[in-house]
Structure 1
Amino acid sequence: MTSHLLRKPQSQSIGEGITLIQEVLTANSPLEYVGFKLIDLAVGAVYEQTVEQDECCIVALTGKITVSEGEHRFENIGTRESVFEKKPTDSVFVSGGASFTVEAMTPATVALCYSPALEPRPTKLLPASGVGVVHRGKYNNQRMVHDILPDSDPSASSLLVVEVYTEGGNFSSYPPHKHDRDLLPEESLLEETYYHELAPKQGFVFQRVYTDDRSIDETMAVEHRNVVIVPAGYHPVGVPDGYTSYYLNVMAGPKRIWKFYNEPDHEWILNRD
């Protein structure tokens, strides 16, 4: 059965030296608030875009890039050759109506994370030095998080962006939690995408996306450079032994706050001694 939530990588040329790897937008997915693109750039390639009604976080996943928007120019940003160096990277935030370019100073992979521009915000460099690094979980539910654009950072009006690393033999986004009800302060409504990478590349993880009424209930074998779409529901990730999981999360909804709800059947694991 073909999954409606799992997107395999494409390799589509969209310009000289520019390869589109993933494109998950509101026009081609069940999402209303979140968009995601992944592009590979050859040295000297220039990607151009105008974000009309959206805001965008441009993440230098790997390689060095220069981002220009109006009077702003952020040169030679990016900190790593592989996401599995496990150190934060640089990003740039741009808001509705902005036209920007991304030029590759070295071979580069760039993530473009979109959500509605609810209010105008200035273009801003989000340097690696300002990215919070948080370790979450215990037992076999441990992961490391890079907070690129958390809800505590007012740079964006709706967009949230984080990176997560999970070692083999651990579960992440676990116990299963969701954020699909506009029910603050208990829970916020946030759609989400997961962009996955694996080390070594031939690995896979398992991700389940399911709702309480099981109107959504999919369990997927997710491979390198796949995207999983989470329009609603719980969304845990399990990582087999011997492999390391990386994923980049993009979240957005009507209110820019991350309040999640744990599935009651599994919440007990948090209180083990």
Structure 2
Amino acid sequence: MSKLLLKAMQGPGHVVHVTPETAGWSYVGFDLHKLDAGQSVCGKTEDKEVCLVFVTGKGKVTANGEDLGLLGSRMSPFEGKPWSVYLPQGSDWWVSAETDLELAVCSAPGLGGGLPVRIISPEGLSQETRGKGTNTRYVTNILPENEPADSLLVVEVITPGGHTSSYPPHKHDQDNLPAESYLEETYYHRFNPRQGFGFQRVYTDDRSLDEAMAIEDGDVVMVPKGYHPCAACHGYDLYYLNVMAGPKRTWKFHNAVEHEWLMM
């Protein structure tokens, strides 16, 4: 199995754990907690900033001693927009599940920005449609670069069955602004129905990295560099949650030259 593909452990519990140390990179962290109703989880951001994403379910949230109330609304990542919470470095947080809950903890270095804790509600999220034909997919921007944060970029995407996504292939592995930014990235994949599967390829121009992976419900793919297109098989819609971070908080990508004609 590819070293870039992580299979989630069976829940409930702390089912995914990615740190810069385990991934062999410098910026992105990703954790996933699956809680049964009545269970709770807590954490400290320390020198990182964090975005809590309610992938599914509802929970009561406390941050730095402040009660943020009951958050979350959808029971499937394929239904509506998520609730999220932004936490700056030096924060502590606690979430108690009111229903079965799937909580993503997206993290990256804090830069001392002094930003406040804030709730990111579904009503405030922008959505866009990208691509055309069987390359159409639907994007929800949770923490885009035009919203305040130090390092994190967070987005979720729905790709209908039979469609491609992150395609034509693009990359963002060079700190070469304004042409391209360096961003590490994780993909957390879900399928509807859950027995579905798809494929993701991570590769570089010189093919020194070239991994093709079958992805299933709950899998995480790490993208340290290179192009990273994915495809959802017919009959199974694909959801993924992306976390990106790098030395500069901007998403500037380079398309694979041989496939750019697909943009026309």
The TM tier, using the shorter chain, reads over 0.9
Distance 1:130 1:119 in 2: 25
Unpaired stretches in structure 1, ≥5 consecutive residues: 13-17
Distance 1:134 1:66 in 2: 29
Deviations 1:59-113 (A, max 9, x none): 011111121112432211112011111x111100101111111111111110000
Give the TM-score taking structure 2 as reference length: 0.97
Structure 2 residue 128 is matched with structure 1 residue 129? no
Describe the SS at the equivalent of 2:133: coil
Query: What corresponds to 2:77 in structure 1?
Result: 83
Deviations 1:140-165 (A, max 9, x none): 110000100001111x1100100000
Deviations 1:128-150 (A, max 9, x none): 11111111001211000010000
Query: What corresponds to 2:5 in structure 1?
Result: 6
Distance 2:83 2:213 in 1: 31
Greater mean deviation of Cα atoms: 71-80 or 123-132: 71-80
Give the superposition deviation at 1:119: 2.7
The alignment-based identity, stated in percent, is 48
Give the superposition deviation at 1:44: 2.1
Distance 1:231 1:35 in 2: 12
CA contact (8 A) 1:8 1:226 kept: yes
Aligned partner (choices 202, 216, 220) of residue 223 of structure 1: 216
Distance 1:205 1:47 in 2: 31
CA contact (8 A) 1:182 1:188 kept: yes
Distance 1:247 1:260 in 2: 19
Structure 2 residue 169 is matched with structure 1 residue 170? no
Give the superposition deviation at 1:20: 1.2
Alignment of 1:1-273 (within 5 A): 2-11=1-10, 19-85=13-79, 87-120=80-113, 121-154=115-148, 156-271=149-264
Distance 1:206 1:107 in 2: 28
Distance 2:238 2:54 in 1: 18
Give the superposition deviation at 1:216: 1.1
Unpaired stretches in structure 2, ≥5 consecutive residues: none
Distance 1:163 1:150 in 2: 11
Distance 1:70 1:175 in 2: 43
Give the superposition deviation at 1:30: 2.2
Query: What corresponds to 1:15 in structure 2?
Result: none
Amino acid at match of 1:122: P
Distance 1:106 1:201 in 2: 19
Distance 1:84 1:139 in 2: 20
Distance 2:211 2:217 in 1: 18
Amino acid at match of 1:30: G
Deviations 1:231-255 (A, max 9, x none): 0010001111111000000000000
Amino acid at match of 1:70: N
Distance 2:31 2:184 in 1: 16
CA RMSD of aligned residues (A): 1.1
Give the TM-score taking structure 1 as reference length: 0.94
Distance 1:58 1:270 in 2: 34
Give the superposition deviation at 1:218: 0.2
Distance 1:169 1:46 in 2: 37
Amino acid at match of 1:96: Q
